């Protein structure tokens, strides 16, 4: 791409900090910046701290490029984090974070009585529960999501959201609207933001924001997404059947599908992204099991001696304690990790095989619920860097393992900005 070509910006606000990337029209990251929330506020619920971190990360990124080349910007936020605001965006209360529960049983009972079983609005941490908790505040203009609030700093508008952030607040991605049953919960539906598809042009940057960051006055602000969806998009997965496995403390699998999947028993619902659907589930197996038995150094030492082309013959379902969510929904499922081999290397290999088996069963579960067949897997998280484990997983899954373009959620949001810029005709 020529030096004069257009760029887009993607911003991610996570639980510990903000990251920003600049991406060219070919999808290459040309600059990035980061800032820790703790540097600006001791409280991760402080919206001013969010904005200061975003501001710092963005300025670091813009310092490495010509800001005049920027054509579009998009932002992701933590799913289910919400706050009540005035018309000019002033917060009216401390936000409720993605994992903050609403303890009022009357609110939860009203949701249970009205929400369809497959809705993502169930649960103590849902966006809808938070709307109901905030809506009685004086002078409230809207109750919005974290990404909406930050995007409002670039547009001056605090009444726009995206289909992905709206899902846990009760939005119906099939009919693409706020459903009628929301009002029957007692929700003040006039406080809900307008909803746009992720990646749709939302508004032009405000003159104040353009001046503050040195950006062109016609920069397009594009509807963003959740941090989880952004992380998936960052990997480069973009076709039905593309799967992404996150091997962190727990195992999470996600797959693009040409049809929506909803399975409440497994906590499974689908985000709409373009003409496709992103579905996934989270298991309780994963790196926490490994850490319960071995140090990281010992895992590396033992892994170097593992032959991934042979099998232990053991049938482990590795868990640290009873209970599983997906691909088996059983709160009393017992760990299966016996007999333990006398050799530590064989024991570690059996755990690797067990987690790989759960991963394979997870993708099989998605297929049984209506997804297309698994066609490829990309891997993120610490487990992706273990060659022996990777080889065991590849043998178990039997599909190509493809390289991950990026593990930065901000890169996924930049992809949305790129899409929005093209839709708006500015790139």
Tell me, yes or no, whether 61 lies in a domain.
Answer: yes
Three-state SS at 255: strand
Asked if 182 and 116 count as a contact pair (C-beta separation under 8 A), the reply is: no
Phi (first) and psi of residue 417, to 5 degrees: -60, -40
Mean pLDDT of 156-181: 98
Q: What integer pLDDT is reported at residue 287 of this predicted model? A: 95
Q: Judge if 66 and 83 occupy the same domain.
A: yes
Distance between first and last Cα of the chain: 13
Tell me, yes or no, whether 349 lies in a domain.
Answer: yes
Pairing of strands 7-13, 142-145: unpaired
Asked if 180 and 166 count as a contact pair (C-beta separation under 8 A), the reply is: no
Asked if 237 and 243 count as a contact pair (C-beta separation under 8 A), the reply is: yes
Q: What is the CATH number of the domain that holds 153?
A: 3.30.420.40
Q: Using CA atoms in the order 76, 79, 408, 55, what is the torsion angle rounded to 10 degrees?
A: 40
- In angstroms, the CA 393 to CA 31 distance is 33
Mean pLDDT of 86-101: 97
Render pLDDT for 170-179 as a digit per residue (tens, 0 to 9): 999 999 999 9
Pairing of strands 220-226, 70-77: parallel
Tell me, yes or no, whether 309 lies in a domain.
Answer: yes
Q: Judge if 173 and 246 occupy the same domain.
A: no
Q: What integer pLDDT is reported at residue 354 of this predicted model? A: 98
- In angstroms, the CA 264 to CA 260 distance is 13
- In angstroms, the CA 233 to CA 420 distance is 14
Q: Judge if 116 and 260 occupy the same domain.
A: no
Peptide bond into 370 cis (omega under 30): no
Tell me, yes or no, whether 218 lies in a domain.
Answer: yes
Asked if 411 and 13 count as a contact pair (C-beta separation under 8 A), the reply is: no
Q: What integer pLDDT is reported at residue 267 of this predicted model? A: 87
Q: What integer pLDDT is reported at residue 1 of this predicted model? A: 35
Range of the domain at 385: 238-397
Tell me, yes or no, whether 404 lies in a domain.
Answer: no
Tell me, yes or no, whether 1 lies in a domain.
Answer: no
Q: Judge if 243 and 386 occupy the same domain.
A: yes
- In angstroms, the CA 32 to CA 1 distance is 18
Domain count, the chain: 2
pLDDT at 288 over 70: yes
Mean pLDDT of 160-187: 98
pLDDT at 3 over 90: no
Q: What integer pLDDT is reported at residue 151 of this predicted model? A: 98
Tell me, yes or no, whether 403 lies in a domain.
Answer: no
Mean pLDDT of 396-406: 97
Band of the pLDDT at 315, cuts 50, 70, 90? very high
Tell me, yes or no, whether 275 lies in a domain.
Answer: yes
Q: Judge if 367 and 220 occupy the same domain.
A: no
Q: What integer pLDDT is reported at residue 2 of this predicted model? A: 38
Give which of 258, 298, 248 is closest to 278, Cα–Cα. 258
Q: Judge if 201 and 287 occupy the same domain.
A: no
Three-state SS at 257: strand
Q: What integer pLDDT is reported at residue 284 of this predicted model? A: 96
Q: Judge if 185 and 287 occupy the same domain.
A: no
pLDDT at 47 over 90: yes
Mean pLDDT score of the chain, rounded to an integer?
96
pTM for this model (two decimals) = 0.94
Q: Judge if 147 and 273 occupy the same domain.
A: no
- Which tokens belong to 37? 């929330």
Band of the pLDDT at 123, cuts 50, 70, 90? very high
Mean pLDDT of 219-244: 97
DSSP summary character for residue 341: P
Query: Exposed/middle/buried for 230, CB within 10 Å: 0-12, 13-18, 19+?
Result: buried
Q: Judge if 215 and 249 occupy the same domain.
A: no
Q: Judge if 222 and 263 occupy the same domain.
A: no
- In angstroms, the CA 187 to CA 111 distance is 10
Mean pLDDT of 282-308: 97
Render pLDDT for 339-367 as a digit per residue (tens, 0 to 9): 999 999 999 999 999 999 999 999 999 99
Q: Judge if 246 and 172 occupy the same domain.
A: no
Three-state SS at 182: helix
Q: Using CA atoms in the order 365, 368, 371, 375, what is the torsion angle rounded to 10 degrees?
A: 70
Q: Using CA atoms in the order 156, 160, 165, 167, what is the torsion angle rounded to 10 degrees?
A: 160
Render pLDDT for 300-313 as a digit per residue (tens, 0 to 9): 999 999 999 999 99
pLDDT at 423 over 70: yes
Q: Judge if 151 and 300 occupy the same domain.
A: no
């Amino acid at each position: 791409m020529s030096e004069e070509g257009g760029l887009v910006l993607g911003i991610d606000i996570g639980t510990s900090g903000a990251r920003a990337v600049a991406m060219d029209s070919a999808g290459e990251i040309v600059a990035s910046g980061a800032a820790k929330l703790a540097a600006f506020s001791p409280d991760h619920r402080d919206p001013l701290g969010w904005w200061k971190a975003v501001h710092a990360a963005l300025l670091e990124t813009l310092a490495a490029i010509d800001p005049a080349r920027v054509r579009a910007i998009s932002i992701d936020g933590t799913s289910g984090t919400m706050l009540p605001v005035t018309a000019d965006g002033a917060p009216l209360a401390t936000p409720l974070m993605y994992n903050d529960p609403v303890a009022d049983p009357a609110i939860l009972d009203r949701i249970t009585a009205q929400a369809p079983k497959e809705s993502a609005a169930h649960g103590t941490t849902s966006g809808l529960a938070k709307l109901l908790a905030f809506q009685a505040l004086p002078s409230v203009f809207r109750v919005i999501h974290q990404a909406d609030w930050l995007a409002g700093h670039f547009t001056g508008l605090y009444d726009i959201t995206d289909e992905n952030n709206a899902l846990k607040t009760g939005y119906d991605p099939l009919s693409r609207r706020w459903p009628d049953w929301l009002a029957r919960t007692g929700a003040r539906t006039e406080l809900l933001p307008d909803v746009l598809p992720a990646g749709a042009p939302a508004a032009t940057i405000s003159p104040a924001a353009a001046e503050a960051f040195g950006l062109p006055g016609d920069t397009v602000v594009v509807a963003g997404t959740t941090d989880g969806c952004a992380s998936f998009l960052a990997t480069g997965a973009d076709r039905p059947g593309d799967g992404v496995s996150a091997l962190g403390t727990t195992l999470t699998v996600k797959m693009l599908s040409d049809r929506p999947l909803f399975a409440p028993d497994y906590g499974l619902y689908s985000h709409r992204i373009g003409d496709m659907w992103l579905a996934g589930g989270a298991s309780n197996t994963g790196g926490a099991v490994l850490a319960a038995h071995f140090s990281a150094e010992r895992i590396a030492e033992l892994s170097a001696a593992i032959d991934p082309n042979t099998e232990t013959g053991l049938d482990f379902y590795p868990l640290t304690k009873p209970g599983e969510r997906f691909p088996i929904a059983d709160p009393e499922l017992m760990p299966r990790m016996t007999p333990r081999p006398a050799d530590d290397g064989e024991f570690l290999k059996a755990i690797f095989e067990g987690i790989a088996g759960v991963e394979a069963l997870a993708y099989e579960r998605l297929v049984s619920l209506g997804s297309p067949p698994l066609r490829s897997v990309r891997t993120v998280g610490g487990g992706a860097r273990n060659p022996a484990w990777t080889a065991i997983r590849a043998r178990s899954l039997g599909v190509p393992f493809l390289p991950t373009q990026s593990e930065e959620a901000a890169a996924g949001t930049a992809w949305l900005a790129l899409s929005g810029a093209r839709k708006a005709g500015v790139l």
